């Protein structure tokens, strides 16, 4: 875009990121095979290139004139991009090749020691819609009604669109023409008397006969195992509200964006609610989901260099590399380590109690060996861990065996 009046050209990050999202989505929709589509990692590389490229363009616009009809290319190094993204140089090269195949990158030239120069598709840059005011470069996400979906009504069953219901009792349609008279032929409604029998086509007696059937169906639905759908949908909403406050405190989303993220969480985190678990089991799983979010928050706080993708990428069910689904393995590993440490501490306590009892010390010194065994067995049974019970049996055998050996040695010495 050329310089107009005395205002300097300024590229709006929000508009260009929207164009990038729309360009990649359109390209993916045209592909018939999954391997030909751009995945979340390719999208992240494209957004990284856009962010750094716009910084160069805006800086060049402040220094001097910037002719948008012949924009300079993006000068960078593959090593620098790899360091910013936290991946290898080969990964960046492969991603650039995929972006070049899609048309996102129109041309790239290698400059030897000078790095590489990349030219992007002008449709992505949106040079015809550049913002010239520094105050207008803030994206109003609330106005973007179709950032994630080109068809705004194509949602998962989690979010239902209100459809206009046909009013059978009304005799006039939207255009003011009575129903049944559009073609010049009169028709009757369900409540109109039958021409041959002079009776109501749906008499009250028949409706009363059908009522018990509907009642039985409702009872069967209520007797189905598992938690109710309203309860489960509230869990999904609570999870997203908590994750948004902890992981994305400064994020502003429009209603379509919020719906899409809820649908992704419904599929990736809660498995489309296909489990017949009880409400108690779902609440336990909800606690683990919250703990997984807290783990990610602590991971982000430990180092400012850590980052997570945007929520529509982070909670995507197909994101196997840096998505929220990978935190489950992280959580299981952490909980397993906690249980192992707990069991070791309990076994050390058991061993110390047997040693003190043998020396006539400790709080159980007046107890018999059988009483001490019963006390320890009851205490460990509260943890409901079979591996802990087996380890306790082995520890007990070793302790008693050592004690018997000591007795024999003392008797032999005497």
Q: What is the pLDDT of residues 46-104, one digit of tens each?
A: 999 988 988 888 887 777 766 667 788 888 998 889 888 889 989 999 999 999 988 88
* Domain boundary residue, one of 257, 289, 322: 322
3-state SS, 267-283, equals: HHCCHHHCCCCCHHHHH
Q: Domain containing 81 — which CATH number? A: 1.10.10
Give percent of the chain above pLDDT 90. 20
Looking at mean pLDDT, say which of 69-73, 134-138, 169-173, 192-196 comes out highest. Answer: 69-73
Separation in Å, CA 175 to CA 126, 133, 159, 186, 293: 41, 46, 30, 17, 53
More confident residue, 17 or 154: 17
Question: What is the average per-residue pLDDT within 98-115?
Answer: 87
Question: What is the average per-residue pLDDT within 6-18?
Answer: 75
User: pLDDT band for position 244 (50/70/90)?
Assistant: very high
Q: What are the residues facing 74 on neighbouring strands? A: 118
Tell me what pLDDT residue 127 has.
62
> How far is it, in rounded angstroms, from Cα 303 to Cα 86?
13
pLDDT at 162 over 50: no
User: pLDDT band for position 412 (50/70/90)?
Assistant: low
Name, in order, each residue with C-beta under 8 angstroms of 308's C-beta and a sequence gap of 6 or more: 247, 296, 300, 314, 322
Q: Are residues 342 and 318 in the same domain?
A: no
Question: What is the average per-residue pLDDT within 222-238?
Answer: 78
Q: Are residues 29 and 109 in the same domain?
A: yes
Per the domain annotation, does 379 fall within a domain? yes
Q: Which has the closest alpha carbon to 311: 394, 362, 355, 250? A: 250
Per the domain annotation, does 125 fall within a domain? yes
Cβ-count burial 237-270 (b if 16+ within 10 Å, e if not) = eebbeebbeebeeeeebbebbebbbbbbbbbbbb
Name, in order, each residue with C-beta under 8 angstroms of 233's C-beta and a sequence gap of 6 or more: 158
Q: What are the residues facing 117 on neighbouring strands? A: 75, 109
> How far is it, in rounded angstroms, from Cα 250 to Cα 267?
25
pLDDT at 235 over 90: yes
Name, in order, each residue with C-beta under 8 angstroms of 373's C-beta and a sequence gap of 6 or more: 396
pLDDT at 199 over 80: no
73 DSSP assignment: P
Q: Are residues 275 and 234 in the same domain?
A: yes
Q: Are residues 71 and 101 in the same domain?
A: yes
Q: Are residues 36 and 95 in the same domain?
A: yes
Rounded to the nearest 10°, the torsion over CA 348, 353, 355, 358 is -160
* Domain boundary residue, one of 322, 349, 381: 322
Among 59-68, 241-250, 328-337, whose mean pLDDT is lowest? 59-68
Question: What is the average per-residue pLDDT within 225-254?
Answer: 89
Per the domain annotation, does 88 fall within a domain? yes
pLDDT at 414 over 90: no
Per the domain annotation, does 255 fall within a domain? yes
Tell me what pLDDT residue 170 has.
44
Which two tokens mark 17? 């990121």
Question: What is the average per-residue pLDDT within 300-325?
Answer: 90
Cβ atoms within 10 A of the Cβ of 172, count?
Answer: 11
Q: What are the residues facing 120 on neighbouring strands? A: 105
Tell me what pLDDT residue 59 has.
81
Which two tokens mark 346? 């309990």
pLDDT at 200 over 70: no
* Domain boundary residue, one of 300, 322, 344: 322
Which two tokens mark 251? 């994020």
What backbone phi and psi angles, to 5 degrees, belong to 147? -75, -40
Q: Are residues 337 and 318 in the same domain?
A: no
Give percent of the chain above pLDDT 70. 69
Q: Which has the closest alpha carbon to 228: 189, 277, 179, 266? A: 277
- Predicted confidence (pLDDT) per residue in 341-360, tens digit: 988 899 899 888 888 888 89
pLDDT at 294 over 90: yes
Q: Are residues 100 and 28 in the same domain?
A: yes
Q: Are residues 237 and 128 in the same domain?
A: no
Q: Are residues 357 and 308 in the same domain?
A: no
- Predicted confidence (pLDDT) per residue in 261-274, tens digit: 999 999 999 999 88
pLDDT at 175 over 90: no
- Domain of residue 104: give its range: 13-139
Per the domain annotation, does 157 fall within a domain? no
- Domains contained in the chain, number: 3
Q: Are residues 233 and 270 in the same domain?
A: yes
Q: Are residues 132 and 24 in the same domain?
A: yes
Separation in Å, CA 11 to CA 53, 57, 60, 192, 396: 10, 8, 11, 66, 73
Per the domain annotation, does 150 fall within a domain? no
Name, in order, each residue with C-beta under 8 angstroms of 283's C-beta and a sequence gap of 6 or more: 235
Q: Which helix (H) or strand (E) holds 234?
A: helix 229-247
SS3 119: strand
> How far is it, in rounded angstroms, from Cα 129 to Cα 308?
30
Name, in order, each residue with C-beta under 8 angstroms of 93's C-beta and a sequence gap of 6 or more: 78
More confident residue, 200 or 370: 370
Tell me what pLDDT residue 194 has.
43
Cβ-count burial 326-360 (b if 16+ within 10 Å, e if not) = ebeeeeeeeeeeeeeeebeebbeebeebbeebbee
Tell me what pLDDT residue 369 has.
84
More confident residue, 33 or 412: 33
Per the domain annotation, does 174 fall within a domain? no
More confident residue, 31 or 168: 31
* Sheet containing strand 116-120, strands side by side: 74-76, 116-120, 105-110
Q: Are residues 308 and 354 in the same domain?
A: no
User: pLDDT band for position 238 (50/70/90)?
Assistant: very high
Per the domain annotation, does 39 fall within a domain? yes
């Amino acid at each position: 875009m050329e310089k107009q009046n005395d205002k300097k050209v300024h590229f709006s990050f929000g508009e260009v990121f929207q164009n990038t999202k729309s360009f990649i989505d359109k390209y993916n929709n045209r592909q018939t095979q999954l391997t030909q589509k751009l995945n979340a990692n390719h999208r992240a590389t494209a957004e990284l290139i856009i962010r750094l490229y716009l910084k160069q363009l805006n800086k060049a616009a402040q220094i001097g004139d910037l002719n948008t009809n012949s924009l300079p290319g993006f000068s960078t190094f593959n090593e620098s991009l790899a360091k910013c993204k936290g991946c290898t140089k080969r990964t960046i090269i492969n991603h650039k090749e995929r972006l070049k195949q899609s048309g996102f990158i129109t041309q790239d030239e290698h400059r030897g020691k000078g790095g590489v120069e990349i030219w992007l598709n002008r449709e992505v840059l949106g040079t015809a819609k550049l913002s010239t005011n520094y105050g207008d470069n803030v994206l109003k996400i609330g106005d973007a009604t179709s950032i994630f979906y080109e068809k705004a009504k194509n949602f998962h069953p989690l979010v239902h669109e209100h459809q206009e219901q046909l009013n059978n009792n009304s005799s006039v349609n939207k255009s003011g023409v009575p129903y049944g008279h559009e073609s010049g032929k009169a028709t009757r409604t369900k409540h109109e008397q039958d021409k041959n029998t002079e009776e109501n086509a749906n008499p009250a007696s028949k409706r009363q006969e059908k009522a018990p059937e509907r009642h039985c169906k409702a009872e069967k639905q209520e007797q189905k195992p598992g938690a109710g759908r309203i309860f489960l949908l509230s869990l999904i909403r609570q999870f997203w509200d908590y994750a948004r406050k902890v992981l994305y405190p400064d994020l502003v989303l429009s209603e379509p964006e919020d719906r899409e993220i809820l649908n992704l969480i419904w599929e990736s985190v809660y498995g489309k609610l296909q489990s017949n678990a009880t409400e108690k089991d779902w609440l336990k799983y909800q606690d683990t989901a919250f703990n997984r979010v807290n783990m990610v928050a602590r991971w982000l706080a430990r180092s400012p260099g850590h980052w997570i993708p945007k929520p529509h990428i982070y909670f995507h069910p197909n994101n196997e590399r840096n998505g929220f689904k990978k935190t489950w393995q992280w959580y299981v590993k952490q909980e397993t380590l906690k249980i192992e440490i707990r069991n070791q501490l309990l076994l050390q306590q058991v061993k110390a109690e047997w040693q003190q009892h043998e020396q006539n010390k400790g709080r159980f010194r007046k107890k018999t060996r059988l009483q001490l065994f019963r006390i320890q067995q009851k205490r460990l049974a509260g943890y409901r861990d079979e591996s802990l019970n087996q380890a306790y049996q082995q520890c007990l055998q070793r302790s008693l065996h050592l004690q018997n050996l000591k007795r024999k040695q003392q008797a032999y010495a005497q």
